[in-house]
Structure formats: structure tokens, C-alpha cells
Amino acid sequence: MLKSTLNLKHNVDISKYCKLIAYLKKQNVGYQPKKSSIFTKENIENFLKNAPFEFLPHKVALVIGISGACRSDELFKMKTGDIDLQQHRAIIVLPNTKTYQPRSFVVANTEWVEILKCYIDLRKNVEGDRFFLQLRHGKLTKQPYGHNSIAQLPKKIASYLQLNNVNTYTGHCFRRTSATLLVNSGGDIINLKKLGGWRSSTVAESYVGSSLDGQLKIASMLSTEDTTSMQNMPNISVPGPSSQQFHFSNTKENLHQGISLHVEGRDNTTINIYFNKTS
């Protein structure tokens, strides 16, 4: 940001100043940027089920924001034509994204789809194409949510749930919550990048927040013996090229000693793999 600003405003390329670059890198060591807090599954279910009708726009923003890992700016720019509401699902297309690449996603949870239907039924009676409108006295007004108002929705949801440090629930809350829930559910980096439209794996991983569920899952993996999954594997026979047969021999007794792979064909071959224990 500093480099591009100086180049644009003052026509100064600081990349040529080696000592300055080294100094800035040294000052950046240990810096931890502040990140938005995230909602848990319990927080989401509690709010969607128990919040009163006056929080309907908040519920819709929560459903869409988490289902598509949306930025507050993307929610702000949503139009009524961006949602294709079907019987058991909703298909949403975001044409205006930060990367200038359209992104689409699906809301398949039946309870979440019902929330969208409830809001859209009210939205049909109001003119205009802006999707998020303010709700007053049980009716939607013509006043759309502003950019700052959309960014304040996670904070208002946290206030209703009486969570600690409500000011840390910023406009990036929905996006970070979505990424964290996906990874904790077993999603890989490919699914994560596709969900949020990230091109960089490093940037995508930075949106994943640390949660107790994720830490418990890692602890469970570490406490499980390596031989557990191997002991449950049967002997495998796989057809290979030139009518060869590959036999994988596996028993509980030889797991700690090695694995035997026998190849049958013109020349019978046996490959033994031994495991060396290290202290």
C-alpha cells in the first residue's frame, strides 16, 4: 500500500531504496493484523431461530454472507435480480466482486431458504432494485442499507447474542466465519478458494479463524495411532498392465515390520518395504 501510494502520488519508487525496504521489513516482524471475530455454528442457529421479526434483514444477510463468504461491499451491491429463488434452494450470483470476477453459490439449507422466501415476499411490494432494505414497524421501507450499515450488521447480531467484544465483529465477519466453518467441516484449500473467490492460497488461509472445534479435531488426529487406519485395510489385489496382478499384503503382525507388495506377471516380483523405528 505504501509503495503504490508513493509511486502514484509522488512518483517515487521506493523499491530502489534497499536500506529503506530492509528497515520496513524489520519493523514488520511480529506484526499481527487485527482480524474480525467469527460466529460459531451455535451462534448462527441461535440467532436464526430466536431473533424476532425485526431482525429479518440481519438474518438474510447472515444466511447469504455465510453461504457465499461475502464481503460487506458485495452484500451492499446486491440487486433483486441476483437471486434465483427455487422451491428447495436459492441460487445467488454476485456480479460485482473485488476481483471483478462474478461468483455464484447455492443456499440449500431448507430453514435458510424459508428465511429468504419470507424476506423476498415482503421485498416484492417495494419498488427499486436494491436488495437489502431497512425494516421498520414490520414493513420494508424504500430506504436501502448503506455501506456502513451493512458492515455493522455482524456487530448488531453479536449484540443480540450478548457476545463479548462486539466491536470486533466487523464487516469481514461473515467471510471469515464462512471460511472457518468450511475448513472445520473438512473442506480443502481448493474448496476454500472456490468459495471465496481467492486466487492465492496464502490469502485464503488467512481468513480461517482459530476455533475450538478445529483444535479438537487436530488433537483427535494427533492422538490416534498411525496404524489404526492401516489395520483396517484388507489385502488388495489390483490389475496392472500386461495382465500383471499387484497384491498388497497387510496384517496386524507385520505392520510394525513392513509391507510386502507382490507383482505377478511374466516375472514374479516381490517388493518388501521395511519400517525403521527411530528413538
Instruction: Tell me whether residue 32 is in a domain.
Output: no
Task: Please tell me whether residues 132 and 242 are part of one structural domain.
Answer: no
Q: Are 50 and 113 in contact (CB under 8 A)?
A: no
pLDDT reported for residue 231: 52
Q: What is the mean pLDDT of residues 216-241?
A: 59
**Is residue 205 within 8 Å of 188, Cβ to Cβ?**
no
How much is the mean pLDDT over the chain? Answer: 82
| CATH number of the structural domain spanning residue 133 | 1.10.443.10
For residue 231, what is its C-alpha cell? 489395520
Residue 48 shares a structural domain with residue 176: yes
Q: What percent of the chain has pLDDT over 70?
A: 78
CA distance 145 to 170: 16
Query: What local confidence, expressed as pLDDT, does residue 278 receive?
Result: 55
Higher-scoring residue by pLDDT: 150, 239: 150
* Cα 182 to chain centroid, rounded: 5
Do residue 114 and residue 245 come from a single domain? no
Total tally of structural domains belonging to the chain: 2
How far apart CA 5 and CA 68 sit, in angstroms, is 32
Instruction: Look at residue 179 and tell me whether its pLDDT is greater than 80.
Output: yes
Q: For residue 33, what pLDDT is reported?
A: 76
pLDDT, tens digit (0-9, with 9 covering 90-100), for 18-77: 888 888 888 888 777 788 999 999 999 999 999 999 999 999 999 999 999 999 999 999
Q: Examine the domain organization and report whether 184 and 234 are in the same domain.
A: no
Q: Does the predicted model carry a pTM greater than 0.75? A: no
Closest CA to 113 of 90, 132, 94, 133: 90
pLDDT score, position 230:
47
| Residue 6 included in any domain | no
| pLDDT > 60? residue 255 | no
Residue 39's pLDDT is 96
Q: Are residues 67 and 168 in the same domain?
A: yes
Question: Do 121 and 186 reside in the same domain of the chain?
Answer: yes
Residue 164 forms part of a structural domain: yes
Which grid cell sits at 193?
A: 478458494
How would DSSP label each residue in 102-126?
-EEEEE--HHHHHHHHHHHHHHTTS
153 is a domain residue: yes
**What pLDDT, in 10s, does the model give residues 180-195?**
999 888 888 888 888 9
Is residue 68 assigned to a domain?
yes
- Which residues span the domain enclosing 267? 228-274
pLDDT tens digits for range 120-139: 999 998 999 999 999 998 88
Q: What is the pLDDT of residue 250?
A: 53
